[in-house]
Structure 1
């Protein structure tokens, strides 16, 4: 089980690097675009399309699993904060399974939408340039799918009591 967690952690590290590189490329492209626009009256074509269809989608959805391993997602504790710590631990652990169902459904449904976008050849036109955008539709199901795998793994670690290899941040319990 721990070996699976380490493999999953490596996969998450790769997706995190992809997200960081996308943010870096986005910053560079926007900076060059703005400089080109105001200094030389020549903006970079397709900047808005690239930023909105690729960079932002990568930055938002691909690193979801990393945030989960760091317990960084928003939680609302209306009643649970009054429960004993052990009860909170069990409740949070079972939410992994519930959340995996939600993210799994999101991954499944968005994969279907990505296929439709690919089949129709979805694109945007900016400054008379055709930018193919259908590949970006696959980024959401990839991010949600990896998040699903992490959640199911964390639930299995909870149920079996096995040692996790994800390198998670400490949780309640």
Structure 2
């Protein structure tokens, strides 16, 4: 059962990580094209800074979050683990996962509301005199956080079991 649930979390994680990697490659190509444009024609490409800031950087930052969670690469603090008796650590780990889950849920709710609001007004910013639509980038945050929430949900029961009982590929801590 746990293997099936893990597979459900791994697919969106891999997809969002792949999209994040593609955005980094696209950003590198875009920056290279910008440099060549300035050298050859003496002018910038339309909306380079805006596209990098609102699309590539957002995708590279938020889409791979689920993968980092599943691999145990998220930032964690062991302040309580150091002072809590070993037999209580699974409980504190579980409570920490609940707090992370709740926080992620609130972030999704806020990001969803913001994305919906900006989509309705067709949010754009000025890029070299012409508008650059940026509302679609708001949805990347919702997608990345949604995949993270799914990964956290899959890992939630692990807080009750010991780390040795955790399925492979879910990381040591999360």
- TM-score where L is the length of structure 2: 0.87
1:59 aligned partner: 60
Decide which moves more: 81-90 or 3-12: 81-90
Post-superposition Cα deviations, 1:26-68, rounded to whole Å, max 9, x if no partner, equal 0110111022113321321111111011111111111111111
> Distance between the aligned counterparts of 1:78 and 1:165, measured in 2?
25
Q: Could you say what secondary structure the match of 2:75 adopts?
A: coil
| Regions of 4+ moved over 4 Å | 157-161, 163-166
Number of aligned residue pairs: 171
Unaligned runs of 5+ in 1: none
1:63-117: per-residue Cα shift (whole Å, max 9, x none)? Answer: 1111111111222333422444443343223211110100101101110111110
Unaligned runs of 5+ in 2: none
> Aligned in 2, Cα 1:166/1:151: closer, same or farther, shift over 3 Å?
farther
Distance, in Å, in 2 between the alignment partners of 1:165 and 1:70 is 11
| 1:129 matched residue in structure 2 | 130
Q: Give the alignment's Cα RMSD to 1 decimal.
A: 2.2
Q: Secondary structure at the match of 1:130?
A: strand
Question: Does the Cα contact within 8 Å between 2:66 and 2:144 map onto a contact in 1?
Answer: yes
| TM-score of the superposed pair, with normalisation by structure 1 | 0.87
CA distance in 2, matches of 1:41, 1:94: 57
In 2, Cα distance between equivalents of 1:13 and 1:132: 27
Q: Separation in 2 of the partners of 1:16 and 1:164?
A: 22
Superimposed CA distance per residue, residues 107-152 of structure 1 (whole angstroms, 9 cap, x where no aligned partner) = 0111011111011110011112221111111111211122112112
Relative to 1, partners in 2 of residues 1:79 and 1:155: Cα closer, same or farther, differing over 3 Å? closer
